[in-house]
Amino acid sequence: MVGSRAPVGPERPPASIARILAGRAVIGGRLQPVEVALGDDGSILSIGKVRRGAPRHDVGEAILLPAATDLHVHFREPGGSARVEDLASGTRQAILGGVALVGEMPNTVPPVDDVERLEEKARRIPGRAATDVLLYAGVGQPSALRRLAARAGAFKVFLSPTTGVDEPPAADVLPGLLRTLADLGLPVGVHAEDPMEFVADPSPRSPAEWNRARPVRAELAAVARLVPPPSGLRLHVAHVTSAAVVDRLRTAGVSFEATPHHLLLSDRSRPDAFGKVNPPLRDEGTRRALWEAFARGDIPILASDHAPHARAAKEQPFAEAPSGMPGTETMLPLLLARVRDGTLPLATLLQAACDRPARWLGRPHGRLAPGHRAHLLVVDFRRRVPISADRLHAPAGWSAFEGLPAIFPREVYFDGERVVQDGEYVGRPTGRVVRPEFAPGPGR
Ligand code: DOR
Ligand code: ZN
């Protein structure tokens, strides 16, 4: 064997073309006619003119887009009720909204904060998930972090109490925790609200009062505890609600996201607990400034913070109702409608919804490029509809975005297979548990 290398396994034959999609796509910043060759290995083989024969599907006037990545969802399994959400129903909504990879949060019952619980959750995914799923782990058990880092896709740190989280890490342990997470190398998402800045209100009655109880300054104070981050920490701040926080994080060079609800709804959009969420919806001026920052391209990532609750729970008096709203199915469609009405450049949306979140998670999702997963959307910009909970697929059965314009993908391809046709799921759930494959890149 001197001089030769033992084979490490059977050679994989090169992928061949399973299907060609022809249409227009944004390439190099311009809308151009293209042919996309989808491989039988579920990857994109080439973009351009394809000469070899394979079934060819021309999407006509529609546009080919990469599928989105939603790096912030709560699918409530284990411990939730399938009448509200589970991994099967959550991922089905995601794919119907054009999302092919989700980052699933650990604040379940019990929380995912050791390897056994993470593996138990991972076993629930094959055969049930319609999207790829990257699992976040919680940081509730410091002694479990090292083993978790070998199995999880990312970590999540909650700095304030919220659904399923009673005790955030104490102020004096946070710096050490962040240094440990920097060493472990995985992306780290943070819910950044500082409870020291909350204003005690025993009985808030509306989103506007909730906004006063958990003000923007609680976000600024939490961010001040995080920046500058220890060197090597792949820090990402979740659901930023104000331009002041945007400026602070851009200056610090930290990745962050905004949600469709903070971009499109204010604390006056809904009078009731269906508009209760953490961090709260803000006043109209704050919302508008956040939207302007997004439309300028100053907010690197769009994420839904999909957090459904039963309708009956939301119908309780405001103070008792839980915080959170569903949103993964409507995230991209709401923003595609803004592209169509001319208030958001398509390239800005594709960066925020597709390319940067996948890079942030170290995944080859999110671009029309050879070697990327063949998760694609066919979008007909002429088909604009008002959001109506009746036509959505959330078991919880309500949407805070009722009536807002949206453009849903007409078709969705997952690993090169058509799984959504005319807005209905026609596929088999073949989503996988995935982890970062390359060093997560800056979400900027
Ligand atoms: O409003 C929220 N709901 N904010 C969170 O941070 C958690 C989420 C949930 O899980 O319900
Ligand atoms: Zn969340």
Task: Tell me what the mean pLDDT of segment 234-245 comes to.
Answer: 98
Reported as a single tens digit per residue, the pLDDT across 293-348 is 999 999 999 999 999 999 999 999 999 999 999 999 999 999 999 999 999 999 99
The pLDDT value recorded for residue 14 is 77
Question: Is the shortest distance between the CB of 241 and ligand 1 below 6 Å?
Answer: no
Q: Which residue is it, tokens 């609680």?
A: 218
Index of the ligand 1 atom closest to the CA of residue 165: 7
* CA distances, 180 to each of 124, 243, 361 (Å): 29, 30, 19
Ordered strands of the 99-104 beta sheet: 68-73, 99-104, 132-138, 154-158, 187-191, 234-237, 255-258, 301-302
Question: With left for phi above 0 and alpha for psi between -120 and 50, is residue 386 left, alpha or beta?
Answer: beta
CATH superfamily of this structure's domain 66-360: Metal-dependent hydrolases (3.20.20.140)
Which-ligand-closest: CA of 76? Answer: 1
Indicate whether 32 pLDDT > 50: yes
Task: Tell me what the mean pLDDT of segment 111-140 comes to.
Answer: 97
Question: Is the shortest distance between the CB of 108 and ligand 1 below 6 Å?
Answer: no
Residue boundaries of the structural domains of the chain: 17-65+370-425, 66-360
The pLDDT value recorded for residue 219 is 98
The pLDDT value recorded for residue 1 is 30
The pLDDT value recorded for residue 345 is 96
Task: Tell me what the mean pLDDT of segment 209-234 comes to.
Answer: 97
Number of neighbours of residue 198 by Cβ within 10 angstroms: 16
Domain covering 17-65+370-425 in this structure, CATH number: 2.30.40.10
Residue type (1 letter), 308 = P
Task: Tell me, in angstroms, the distance from the centre of ligand 2 to residue 193's CA.
Answer: 12
**Under 8 Å CB-to-CB from 319, ≥6 apart: which residues?**
202, 203, 204, 205
The pLDDT value recorded for residue 12 is 67
Reported as a single tens digit per residue, the pLDDT across 326-336 is 999 999 999 99
Index of the ligand 1 atom closest to the CA of residue 74: 10
Question: Is the shortest distance between the CB of 310 and ligand 1 below 6 Å?
Answer: no
What is the value of pTM for the model shown?
A: 0.95
Candidate from 73, 74, 262, 328 with most ligand 1 atoms within 8 A of CB, to mutate: 74
Reported as a single tens digit per residue, the pLDDT across 142-193 is 999 999 999 999 999 999 988 888 788 988 999 999 999 999 999 999 999 9
Task: Tell me, in angstroms, the distance from the centre of ligand 1 to residue 65's CA.
Answer: 30
Q: Is 372 helix (H, G, I), strand (E, B) or coil?
A: coil
What angle in degrees, to the nearest 10, is found between the helix axes of 216-226 and 243-252?
A: 10
Phi then psi dihedrals of residue 415, to 5 deg: 50, 40
Index of the ligand 1 atom closest to the CA of residue 191: 6
Q: Is 2 helix (H, G, I), strand (E, B) or coil?
A: coil
DSSP string, 245-284: HHHHHHHHT-EEEE-HHHHH--TTS-SSGGG--SSPP--H
Question: Is the shortest distance between the CB of 189 and ligand 1 below 6 Å?
Answer: no
